[in-house]
A and B are shown apart, each in its own frame.
Chain A
Amino acid sequence: MKLIKIDQQNWNTGIEKAKSAYRVFGPVKEKNDYEFKVLGTNEMPDLNFRNTRLSPKSIIYPQSQVMFTYSIDETKDDCRIMKEVENVTSPMAIIGVRPCDALSFPIVRRNFDTPEYQDTYWIKAYEATTFVGLACNSACDTCFCTSAGTGPFGEKGLDVLIIKDGDDFYTKIITPKGEAFAESAGWGKKEQTDITAKIKELKTAAEASVSSTVSTDKLKNKTILDLYDAPFWEEEAFACINCGTCTYVCPTCWCFDVQDETHGKSGIRMRNWDSCMFPLFTHHASGHNPRNNKHERVRQRFMHKLKYYVDKYDSGIQCVGCGRCIRLCPVNIDIRKICDKMNNFDTESCKCEATSS
């Protein structure tokens, strides 16, 4: 790992230089909020954001993605043959990824890149991307990254971590991919400097600013069915309107639906983000729906993130603590509250309560 210090001038020229080798994405203010966009010539990432409204998930995994094309013209030899669309991704760099969002990529990778199955669309985009993170000097009230396996200076999932201190950019080059990016930005030859103490100081202050915590320590030892049958689901789900906000704004939600769209004699097969909040998500062709009720769908979302994933991968929760679902849920369903309820759920005390009432 190499540690260098870059001033504003070098930062600007570096980002501009990198654009010749990478498609560079960065946060840009759009209307009232920040979104990740491809940066044009002389366009700089706007680092005054706290976090973007949506995570950078869609850069690697677009909301709608065409995978195949086909023809239904019977006179043609390739009628009804699925042809894979060109799937070559040129190098990309995302500047300003917050450490919480950075952690989401290794989490999502567990789904898209397994020994048995490799999702070529996701993997190619992921492998072509260099993640240049931006440490958070102060956390939002809804951030609970330190309870979710990372922190405001977390490095997991990042190739480079930038720590902003006034006009200076302290740059930690973490991986060979990060080194290549620094090289193309012209920062490669910069002398390593000793700013460790300063970074440590900033990191300690940033970590202290995370005011929100959740406990996840007891989730793994709970019995699935106890949690599944817990009495709080119906009450907690009452307010839910079953929209897709929480899942679409979540950096770690990876579910998609495959659709064919035919126009005239030709068509496309694509995938679109799907949401376990939607009744259609589990609607069987037979007409049966195993999650027909709202509380079953709400339970699924939290059980997947906080129990099934925990049990399957033994690597923490499927949540990075970015707090987007808390801020944007229209009816204030708060994952911190649900997580605490699950973590502290005690079957025995619940039984007593039920008997005594």
Chain B
Amino acid sequence: MSKPNPRLIKMKEYTEKIREIAKRLLNDGIVDMVIGFRKGTLPMMNQPHIATCTDSADELMWDSNCGLNLANYVTDRKEKIGIVAKGCDSRNLVTHVIENKIKRDQLYIIGIPCSGMIDHHKITAMFDTDITSVKESGESITISGNDFSKKLIKQDVLCENCAACTHRNPVEYDELVADLVEEQTDVDPYESVTEIESMDAEEKWNYFEDLISPCIRCYACRNACPLCYCPTCFVDESTPQWVGKSQDPIDVRTFHLLRAFHCAGRCTDCGACERVCPMGIKIREFTKKLNKDCLELYGWEAGLSLDERPPLDTFKTDDPDEFIK
């Protein structure tokens, strides 16, 4: 009998460990609910799930299709919540705590050392027919349909943000489901930003116009983003109405640009916006530039510490710029 693949066991172990922790937390009354993922009805589509009893805790699971950001589901909740969090989710939980959207002591963070999520848009586009199953086994992923089966290397089909992620381990947690993973160091998350920066103004304009041209203004990007918790988004304000509601390119552009700026210094590049876009728009091209600016100007990456406030809501008396003093 061949030796079981260590990574295959790992995913299964993650699932078992999550269920075990969730049931313990619920039974001991430490939390009122555990938020995690359950298996979806389509390949590569898991669903955020709220477990309030041991039966529903048994639905919790983990694999490389848990790319949505669960911090989005705890905003302003009052209960005690157990939450499954990979690196980026944990950074958004930190951001939520700093921004008073949840209290740290309301949360029991079940930390997931993450090896990256697979890009369902990319994989779907690779095949002309339906994908009926996607199986992970170690470093490989087997994609099958009714009349084909193809093995891919997971690293080749990772979401772009995961491939260049430098915070795979949760930064804040109460318990881990597995040992920490090694962080990637030889990656450049801002490669495409550098490319766009080198374009002239007209090229940049055309690039972004083309980027957002398929937008149908469904707001999935905004609604999947844990940062977008405004009680009324600026595009939904009616008195006064800041932005038109039609498909006028000026309004579509205004939405994308303003949303990106609202996320400046807060975005963790979790990729939820891109993952959910029904039109496959690379929305992170906007937010990544602002992340790069925050890193270069302030040495700042969002959500790494509960003790530091983001640069755009901080004032320092030793600020090198004169105009602000």
Write the residues of chain A forming the contact surface with B, with a CB cutoff of 8 angstroms: 30-33, 50, 53-54, 63-64, 140-142, 235, 238-239, 241-245, 248-249, 257, 259, 261, 270, 272, 275, 278-280, 283, 326-328, 330-334, 336-337
Closest 4 CB pairs of A and B: A330-B276, A243-B220, A64-B246, A332-B40
When C-beta atoms are compared, the residue in chain B nearest to A357 turns out to be B53
Q: Is the CB of A259 within 8 A of B49?
A: no
Chain A interface mostly: loop
Given A244-B218, A245-B218, A272-B245, 17 more A-B residue pairs with CB atoms under 8 Å apart are A31-B214, A32-B280, A50-B129, A53-B278, A63-B216, A63-B247, A64-B247, A141-B130, A142-B42, A243-B218, A248-B218, A257-B245, A259-B244, A270-B246, A330-B278, A331-B68, A336-B41
In the complex the two chains form, is B47's CB within 8 Å of A241's CB? no
8 Å CB interface, B219-271 against A: 219-220, 222-224, 236, 238, 244-248
- Within the complex, what minimum Cβ distance (angstroms) separates A139 from chain B? 9
27 contacts between A and B (CB under 8 A): A32-B121, A50-B128, A50-B129, A54-B216, A63-B247, A64-B246, A64-B248, A141-B42, A238-B73, A241-B72, A241-B223, A241-B224, A243-B223, A243-B224, A245-B218, A245-B278, A259-B245, A270-B246, A275-B218, A278-B219, A279-B236, A280-B236, A280-B238, A283-B238, A330-B275, A334-B42, A337-B41
Q: CB distance B223 to A239 under 8 Å? A: no
**Of A53, A64, A239, A261, which is within 8 A of B279 by CB?**
A53
Give the residues in chain A near B48, CB-CB below 8 Å: 238-239, 331
Chain B positions 29 through 65: 1 when the CB is less than 8 Å from some CB of chain A, otherwise 0: 0000000000011100111111000000000000000
Query: Is residue B217 within 8 Å, beta carbon to beta carbon, of the partner chain?
Result: yes
CA distance A235 to B55 in the complex (A): 14
B160 to chain A minimum Cβ distance, whole angstroms, is 15
Interface residues on B, range: 35 or more
B contacts, CB < 8 Å to A? 40-42, 45-50, 68, 72-73, 121, 125, 128-130, 132, 214, 216-220, 222-224, 236, 238, 244-248, 275-280
A278 contact set on B, CB distance < 8 A:
219, 236
A63 to B46, CA, bound (A): 30
Q: A243-B223, A328-B278, A330-B275 are in contact. Are A248 and B248 (CB under 8 A)?
A: no
| Pair B41/A332 contact, Cβ less than 8 Å | yes
Distance in angstroms from A258 CB to nearest chain B CB is 10
- Answer whether A141 and B132 are a contact pair too, CB < 8 Å, given A63-B247, A241-B220: yes
Which residue of A31, A238, A270 is within 8 Å of B50 (Cβ)? A238
Answer whether A249 and B278 are a contact pair too, CB < 8 Å, given A54-B216, A241-B72. yes
Which of chain A's residues have a CB closer than 8 A to the CB of B245? 64, 257, 259, 272
Q: Choose one: B42, B121, B277; the contact of A326 (CB below 8 Å).
A: B42
List chain B residues, Cβ under 8 A from A50.
Answer: 128-129
Smallest Cβ distance from A266 to chain B, in angstroms? 15
Name the B residues within 8 Å of A248 (CB-CB).
216, 218, 278
Distance in angstroms between the alpha carbons of A29 and B280 in the assembled complex: 14
